[in-house]
């Protein structure tokens, strides 16, 4: 397979320990596959150092976000949010995220998840940063929160979109993009049917590496070089050339992040 297209991985945890031992090779393979930029979503304070160190190591291609993952929202949410606010004041980040709502594992801190989500959206609005949203088992609730804040200036991505046509249309109507990753290649996924009705201009590509690898790598560690498999599946769904998918989704990613792709020293 010959790669000559530019792709952007809009969501990848390349700083994760699962990739640490051979991160140089991971990035080299991705670049050989046409991936030119990597956007690194934050999880929490415990993983922040490794994320920022990777960005510093690859300042021209890796761009860190800042935020609090909903699964990391606990009883100390106020302290965590205070740290994020101070961090955002100290330097520029590519986006706020990943933030959102996750009701899959545990709803003990549901109230705190909502509070953290609302706060991070407000930071995105005040700082003119895109919001990268996590919404597991919470798509309708997450859409409702975004709708409450959308006055025309809020922008961003619903990361790892894995829902139906109805949810996809609501997200697009709110002016947000769908982040499409490896799950679109899964046999029982409802995403391919949903994407038939969504313009390519509303879609970006992601891997969520090292998680959710596409077919034929299910059960293995995911990495950014596999983004081409997502692009090819999307081309199949749309009945177009993969080159068109690459060009349009790359342009979309640049549009989302274009104000915030210059790193500053942390």
Q: Tell me: the pLDDT tens digits for 221-237?
A: 999 999 999 999 999 99
- Tokens (6 digits) for 254: 């640049």
The pLDDT score that the predictor gives to residue 264 is 42
Nearest to 96 by CA among 60, 126, 121: 121
| Alpha carbon distances (Å) from 66 to 6, 85, 207 | 25, 9, 18
* Mean pLDDT computed over every residue of the chain: 95
Task: Give the whole-angstrom CA distance, residue 131 versus residue 145.
Answer: 12
Residue range 190-219: mean pLDDT, rounded: 97
Res 1 pLDDT > 50? no
- pLDDT tier at 4 (50, 70, 90 boundaries)? low
Angle value at C-alpha 266, between 8 and 123, nearest 5 degrees = 70
- pLDDT tier at 259 (50, 70, 90 boundaries)? low
Task: Give the whole-angstrom CA distance, residue 143 versus residue 133.
Answer: 10
- Tokens (6 digits) for 180: 């499409």
Nearest to 164 by CA among 187, 141, 197: 197
Residue range 66-93: mean pLDDT, rounded: 97
- How many other CB atoms are found less than 10 A from the CB of residue 27? 22
Res 260 pLDDT > 70? no
The pLDDT score that the predictor gives to residue 207 is 98
């Amino acid at each position: 397979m010959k790669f000559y297209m530019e792709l952007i991985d809009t969501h990848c945890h390349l700083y994760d320990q699962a990739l640490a031992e051979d991160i140089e090779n991971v990035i080299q393979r991705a670049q050989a596959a046409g991936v030119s930029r990597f956007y690194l979503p934050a999880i929490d304070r415990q993983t922040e150092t490794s994320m920022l160190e990777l960005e510093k190591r690859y300042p021209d291609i890796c761009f860190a976000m800042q935020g609090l993952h909903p699964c990391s929202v606990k009883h100390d949410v106020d302290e965590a949010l205070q740290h994020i606010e101070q961090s955002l004041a100290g330097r520029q980040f590519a986006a706020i995220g990943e933030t959102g709502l996750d009701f899959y594992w545990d709803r003990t801190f549901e109230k705190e998840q909502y509070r953290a989500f609302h706060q991070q959206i407000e930071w995105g609005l005040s700082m003119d940063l895109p919001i990268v949203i996590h919404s597991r088992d919470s798509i309708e609730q997450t859409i409702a929160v975004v709708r409450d804040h959308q006055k025309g200036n809020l922008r961003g991505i619903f990361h790892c979109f894995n829902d139906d046509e109805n949810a996809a249309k609501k997200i697009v109507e709110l002016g947000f993009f769908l982040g499409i990753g490896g799950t679109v290649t899964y046999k029982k996924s409802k995403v391919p049917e949903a994407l038939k009705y969504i313009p390519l201009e509303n879609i970006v590509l992601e891997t969520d590496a090292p998680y959710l690898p596409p077919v034929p790598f299910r059960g293995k560690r995911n990495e950014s070089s596999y983004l081409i498999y997502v692009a090819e599946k999307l081309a199949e769904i749309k009945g177009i050339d993969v080159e068109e998918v690459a060009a349009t989704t790359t342009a979309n990613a640049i549009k989302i992040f274009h104000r915030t792709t210059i790193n500053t020293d942390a």
